Structure 1
């Protein structure tokens, strides 16, 4: 028998696929903004008020020509879009800075267009302060979502944790006449919802997304029922909690613009400043974080080295609920001194979007929450200065921004490998 030598097969280099999501998103945004500026032109001057009168150093107002800003920014947006297409076709990374610069300039041009010849000035400090106020509950909810999903449990019940946290925060705070007891009650409320989620998802292996949705509906109905029969007739004794007041930090609170925004805040905001780096450090630099990520990525491998997978998941879901409960406390211990039905208004779902947009990272998720808080606060700013933007559009603006951010700018994302998958010990 003669051996037949096979000819070597030529190997082909496999090129990575062309990433078109970012350039397509930038192209659509550029076209929409261009159509808005052309079809509904606004001329004149936009005035940005950089001083709210709380700092010793006074900064004059900043006036810009709407025509100049719109033309210059539009050219830059077109160039950024062209660069994103060039980078995609060449299969190179366009850089994260492209999306960040594009978003900042687009928002600046849009606000300038809306404020041109408006009845009032754009209060920059108040706008940023309000953005942080709206972002704090989202950030705590997102931190809870990050920890829960890093441990392998999908936390769709953030909305319910925020809502029950707000409810018990009002009740505990009113009964004790102390906001710190209200904060404790809010954490208990978030943990109660998390306990039910963990029990059904981990112990009884129920589909986690379904459990989360059911819990949201259950908590909404329960708090509305208790509000009607318990809080309304006893508002003075059960629904009139003292609030956390602002704590002005000397010296750094006098920094223009950023000082009043960041360092003239209440205790819960300062708690967020501490919680984010602590969670980030703990998640990536400590034994606890290694165990959490292990049971969320490779639970069977974690089990083989002695990590108790399901107890680890259970207690971290409880911790996630406590953090989300702190976010709920902001509604009744800072924003308003009493509980109202459905007062979270879907914030838990936006917090869940911040978890995905932040790629399950505590710092990125917090930044995403700040973005969504800013988008939500724009409707208040535009309403105050009297812009031509319809009120219906302002109401849907935060959800539009959420969709664009998650669908258009996130790119290829990958959740923890065992996220949403129950673990059965063999």
Structure 2
């Protein structure tokens, strides 16, 4: 196997893993606050279609990513109002958010279907990306570097800051946190908004450097993988990083199955389904763990009702 091919595989894995990692980091913070939002796929689709629209209209990639984050964050606040203020069922509301995002993106994206989107190139000088060795370090989209930085930021926030400690306290025992004066609902709103913004940025990865055009259901179920990855990683940011790149590795098998005879022993459809089969397997293995052996926040998915 040539050096150029190895480097191309590494870069492809990083690109495939980035949207999963970004969405999973946002969902990790949401779940650490005690909220379960299953609408990640819908928010990613909203972020993707807004990115396409803004990029094709203005040509400004940064503005497109910011608008994607804002749009997905606003959609997550719909979930927040229903579940946090009105105490609606979080599972049903999250699924409804996914349906909303899927339908909205299909309708809003109709004028942009099939149109090419300018790629978001590496922020480093092009000369660095031409050399095969330097390309491993400097040949990625800015969103790849952003995702890696956010792993450290989320870990530091949760483990080393007072605000992170409060967030975790709200997720572990909301009544105790409320009794000592912390605004449980307000903290959860902020977590939900952050999770939505991260899902929107994750969605923007697809048109900006993975699939540079708009088609319906562009995210192809990556949001569901991100949800499973949070559980798989036991709510730990650095495990998320490893898990995201593991799923990114499996996703490139489909690509190389079409061009490399070594992968043609099995049909390409099998390689395409492999990441989702692995997701199901991971969830089955996790469900077989003894009760209490997981690191799930104690209040995850439970509505909060203040007693006084």
TM, length-normalised to structure 1: 0.66
**Residue 297 (structure 1) aligns with:** 172
Of the three residues 24, 35, 44, the one matched with 1:162 is: 44
Matches within 5 A, 1:377-416: 377-386=252-261, 387-408=264-285, 411=289, 412-416=293-297
Say how many residue pairs are matched.
Answer: 301
Of the three residues 82, 104, 119, the one matched with 1:243 is: 119
C-alpha distance 420-278 of structure 1, shift in aligned 2 (>3 A): same
C-alpha distance 254-152 of structure 1, shift in aligned 2 (>3 A): same
CA displacement, residues 265-320 of structure 1 (integer Å, 9 cap, x when unaligned): 11111111211101110111101101110111111111122110001100111011
Whichever of the two has the greater Rg, that structure is 1
**Residue 13 (structure 2) aligns with:** 131
Of the three residues 230, 244, 259, the one matched with 1:355 is: 230
**Residue 316 (structure 1) aligns with:** 191
Does the residue aligned with 1:384 lie in a helix, a strand or coil? coil
Structure 2 unaligned regions, length at least 5:
none
1:404, distance to aligned residue in structure 2 (A): 2.9
1:225, distance to aligned residue in structure 2 (A): 1.9
1:163, distance to aligned residue in structure 2 (A): 0.5
Q: Do residues 192 (structure 1) and 68 (structure 2) align?
A: no
**Residue 60 (structure 2) aligns with:** 178
**CA distance in structure 1 between the partners assigned to 2:236 and 2:149 by the alignment:** 16
**Residue 11 (structure 1) aligns with:** none
Contact 2:32 2:168 in 1 (8 A): yes
Q: Which range moves more in the overlay, 392-401 or 409-418?
A: 409-418
Q: Do residues 147 (structure 1) and 51 (structure 2) align?
A: no
**CA distance in structure 2 between the partners assigned to 1:337 and 1:255 by the alignment:** 24
C-alpha distance 222-361 of structure 1, shift in aligned 2 (>3 A): same
Matches within 5 A, 1:189-268: 189-228=71-110, 230-232=111-113, 241-248=117-124, 259-268=134-143
1:255, distance to aligned residue in structure 2 (A): 9.5
**Residue 206 (structure 2) aligns with:** 331
C-alpha distance 334-392 of structure 1, shift in aligned 2 (>3 A): closer
| Structure number having the greater helix percentage | 2
Does the residue aligned with 2:266 lie in a helix, a strand or coil? coil
Does the residue aligned with 2:297 lie in a helix, a strand or coil? coil
**CA distance in structure 2 between the partners assigned to 1:366 and 1:315 by the alignment:** 23
**CA distance in structure 1 between the partners assigned to 2:255 and 2:150 by the alignment:** 28
1:249, distance to aligned residue in structure 2 (A): 7.2
Q: Do residues 420 (structure 1) and 301 (structure 2) align?
A: yes
**Residue 344 (structure 1) aligns with:** 219
**CA distance in structure 2 between the partners assigned to 1:146 and 1:251 by the alignment:** 37
Q: Do residues 274 (structure 1) and 274 (structure 2) align?
A: no
**CA distance in structure 2 between the partners assigned to 1:300 and 1:322 by the alignment:** 27
**Residue 374 (structure 1) aligns with:** 249
Does the residue aligned with 1:247 lie in a helix, a strand or coil? coil
TM, length-normalised to structure 2: 0.91
**CA distance in structure 2 between the partners assigned to 1:417 and 1:249 by the alignment:** 48
CA displacement, residues 23-72 of structure 1 (integer Å, 9 cap, x when unaligned): xxxxxxxxxxxxxxxxxxxxxxxxx22x11xxxxxxxxxxxxxxxxxxxx
Contact 2:52 2:112 in 1 (8 A): no
